[in-house]
Structure 1
Amino acid sequence: MEQQNFEVIIIGGSYSGLSAAMSLGRSLRQVLVIDSGLPCNRQTPHSHNFITHDGEKPAVISAKAKLQVDFYKTVHFYNGLAVKAVKKENRFEVTTASGEVFISRKVLFATGVKDLIPEIKGFAECWGISVLHCPYCHGYEVKNEKTAIIANGEMGFEYAKLISNWTKDLRLCTNGKSELNLEQTKTLENHGVQIFEDEIESFEHQDGYIQNIVFKNQQKVEVKAVYAKPPFEQHCPIPEALGCELNEQSLIKVDAMQKTNVSGVFASGDCTTPMRSVAIAVSTGSFAGAVINKELIDEDYTK
């Protein structure tokens, strides 16, 4: 790529990064979007709860978005992986895996998170298809179906209450000894929630669509959907290396303007919020782009 200097480098070219790129492209900014092509929802067959795109494949949404952003000729794309970023006075140097170095005044991380899939046979194959994380994104499609939740303790109690809005045919799998207190246990049982404490061995499924949960005692429970919230980590280690603070949920801490604690560094989308949805990723990215443009203007007017 011939051009090396930009006003803004966006690391992560999915929904949030592309939304920021559009805001900045429409602001006539020289922008580079670096993306490695591995969005965390790449296995999900359909995206929901995003008006005008409800039910579309995630890849279709992102492809359409990239085509529209590409209309703005000051926005450039680099297919590859950013591996390092260094702040030098009021500039950032971003290095890619192939050794190329790009320079910018501002950096936006829209890099998402990486789910740490549990060692349950079949979980990875079902993740995003019939093993779900968000009822607002996917609950309608499995409403009133036989459903399980994998969680324990306070989280398991609250998660079961939430999912019971979409189905009453519900069971809570604590995957080991229950950490619910007596009152929580009675409350769930009074609402028809079955509690299974045995450890899970595997999921029986067909092309990612779960059929049975198999416990280590060989008991099988038929289900059509499972909700789970596996732990995660930042998909990209660069923000931490730059000094960006993470919160107790391992998300990048940002203020109301999508700014991190490092001057000139912004973040948006799934890497900043537990509300993982395309709509919110788009919203925070679009807003971050506008804020970055305003900050660039203010800096130019103080020279």
Structure 2
Amino acid sequence: MQDVIVVGGSYAGMAAALQLLRARRLVTIVDEGLRRNRFASHSHGFLGQDGVDPAAIAAQARAQLAAYPTLTWVEGRAVAAGGRKDAFRVDLDGGAVLEGRRILLATGVADELPAVPGLAERWGKSVFHCPYCHGYELDRGRIGVIATGPMSVHQAQLLPEWGEVTFLLNGAAEPDEAARADLGSRGVAVEPVPVARIEGRAEVVLADGRRLEFAGLFTAARCVPASPLAEAMGCALRETPMGVQVATADTKETSLAGVFACGDVARVPHSVSLAVGDGAWAGAQLHRSLVWP
């Protein structure tokens, strides 16, 4: 019987586990090795790790956790979970069953990208979602924003801080008069012709054959939980401007007693540093729930 089973061993899950391990609690982390930022070669905006390969950050964190004798790390996927507070079970894809007093869902999210040929292959390399993570490296070059919905207007309004912006409506957004005036005041060009495909590093080919060269592209992907586990267990979900997340209280406990959630799957906006902070808070709150059940 573990004190806590952490489903998801990326930044939030490991940050939570660290707090629990330092309280000498029995912790099992189940991880299938699919970090959300696995497509990016550099992580930015995380104090002390700016510009470092995100895989190296994760590997260093895992090595530090391994020094604690109460950690068990399981490489695999949780396919089902159930039970009640102090008596949960988690079924793994290999057939193994884990038992724990608490469950922490740190599964992260999946990005639903626009159906633009060439975009998915460039995700995390020359197509991004967070200007704070990737805007500086574009060196004030030309930036294209590919619309996915209403949130894209906000993205196009913000990005002139990092370069000259063209807002590619792509049939997914139609700014009203006030929004167009605001975009114009920020120097944003609005392009109504749909995007046919992306070539090269960040060359947008429009439906009318024109080609627009950019230093980088941004798009507001819709996010959904990367694992169906929370919904299958009956945890309440919440719709946000960025997509679906697991609903939690301030303590990071979900609508199910004894089941907690943290990181990208349980908060917006998203970044490595915010995920680590959220995980650290969740770990402390989990420990308190074990001390004062």
> What one-letter code is carried by the residue in structure 2 that aligns with 1:220?
R
Residue 99 of structure 1: aligned partner: 95
Amino acid at match of 2:178: E
Q: Does 1:135 align with 2:126?
A: no
Instruction: Name the aligned partner's letter for residue 235 of structure 1.
Output: A
Match of 2:73 in 1: 77
In structure 2, the CA distance between the partners of 1:261 and 1:189, relative to structure 1 (3 Å rule), is same
- What's the secondary structure of 1:27's corresponding residue? coil
1:227 aligns with 2:218: yes
Tell me the CA shift for residue 155 of structure 1: 2.6
Task: Give CA deviations for 1:25-79 in whole Å, capped at 9, x if unaligned.
Answer: 1010011000000011101110011111000000000000000001011011000
Residues 107 and 264, structure 1, Cα contact 8 Å, conserved in 2: yes
The answer (yes or no) to whether the contact 1:153–1:180 under 8 Å persists in 2 is: no
Opposite residue 192 of structure 1, the aligned amino acid is G
* Residue 157 of structure 1, CA deviation: 2.8
Deviates more, 1:34-43 or 1:169-178: 169-178
2:187 counterpart of 1:196: no
User: TM-score scaled to structure 1, two decimals?
Assistant: 0.92
Distance in 1 separating the partners of 2:172 and 2:52? 40
Instruction: Please state if 1:256 is matched with 2:250.
Output: yes
Alignment gaps of 5+ in structure 1: none
Per the alignment, residue 182 of structure 1 pairs with 177
2: CA distance, partners of 1:33 / 1:152: 35
Contact in 1 for aligned 2:84/2:258 (Cα 8 Å): no
Q: 2:226 corresponds to which letter in structure 1? A: H
The one-letter amino acid of 2:284's match is A
User: Is 1:115 equivalent to 2:111 in the alignment?
Assistant: yes
Q: Is the aligned partner of 1:285 residue 2:279?
A: yes
* CA positional deviation for 1:90: 3.3
1:178: Cα distance to partner? 5.0
Residue matched to 1:239: 230
Query: What's the counterpart of residue 259 of structure 2?
Result: 265
Tell me if structure 2 keeps the 8 A contact 1:152–1:173: no
SS at match of 1:217: coil
The Cα shift of 1:143 comes to 3.6
Task: Decide whether aligned partners of structure 1 residues 268 and 135 sit closer, same or farther in structure 2, where only a CA change above 3 A counts.
Answer: same
Provide the rounded CA distance (Å) in 1 between the counterparts of 2:216 and 2:89: 45
Q: Secondary structure at 1:290's aligned position in 2?
A: helix
The one-letter amino acid of 1:163's match is L
Amino-acid identity (%): 36
State the shift of 1:127 in Å: 0.6
Query: Secondary structure at the residue paired with 2:245?
Result: coil
Report SS of the residue matched to 2:33: coil
Q: 1:251, 1:152 → 2: CA distance?
A: 18
Whether 1:217 aligns to 2:213 is no
Structure 1 CA distance for aligned equivalents of residues 254 and 138 of structure 2: 38
- What residue is the counterpart of 2:59 in the other structure? 63
Aligned residues: 290
Asked if the contact 1:16/1:269 (under 8 Å) is kept, the reply is: yes
One-letter identity of the residue aligned with 2:229: I
Task: Measure how far apart 1:154 and its partner are.
Answer: 4.3
Higher strand proportion:
2
Instruction: Please tell me whether the aligned partners of residues 200 and 215 of structure 1 are also in contact (alpha carbons under 8 angstroms).
Output: yes
Structure 2: 5+ residue runs without aligned partners? none
Alignment TM-score, normalising by the size of structure 2: 0.95
246 and 153 in structure 1: CA distance in 2 versus 1, 3 angstrom threshold: closer
Helix, strand or coil at the partner of 1:180:
coil
SS in 2 for 1:7: strand
Q: How many Å apart are 1:269 and its aligned residue?
A: 0.4
In structure 1, how many angstroms separate the alpha carbons of the residues matched to 2:291 and 2:123? Answer: 43
Change (3 A) 1:38 1:270: same
